[in-house]
Structure 1
Amino acid sequence: MSTTLPAPLDDPTYTPQHPPVDGQVPAVVAKWGPRSQIRWFRRFGRELAPRRDWSQYHVHSEHHLGTCCDSCFDEYLDGTGVQLDGWCCCRDQRIAP
């Protein structure tokens, strides 16, 4: 039987080396891979100051930069939309234009 440890950012007892600084994302986060960025935003999202441009980060999905769009979140909450089909949202790079 194999036991896997959670990623450090998923472990609530872990003290991260790169928390938000004055409500902002530390520059090092942009250098990380998509999954690590998503874990970082999941852990610290509520501690961040409002921001208009998230386009350099994988905030919600490893399939596109930035946030998922509001209409896709709304559709998901209504029980419809692309997120229920295994896609992230309409910004997902796997969806052909």
Structure 2
Amino acid sequence: MMFWYDHDISGWGWFAMSASMILFWALIIIVAVLFFRALARPQEHTHVPAAPTPEQVLAVRLARGEIDEDDYRRRLGALRQGGPDPQP
């Protein structure tokens, strides 16, 4: 009979057990909600942007001032005709 009353849980023990159980279930619910939100989120596009076309490269070079308008028109005409550029 001596062991029946020595290992009784006091009021603080019940409180600690109850609080830890509430925290445990709160953690499980939070993890589940975050997991389902991550699954429901639309996927981000990870594709690599396309390389600029030769016409776009020429337009950028003209805008930067690397080539003048006459050179731009000559090179653009050569690109559209499919012929080689006489001056690199």
Same fold (TM over 0.5): no
Please identify which structure carries the higher helix content: 2
TM score, norm. by length of structure 1: 0.20
Which structure has more relative contact order (CA 8 Å, sep 6+)? It is: 1
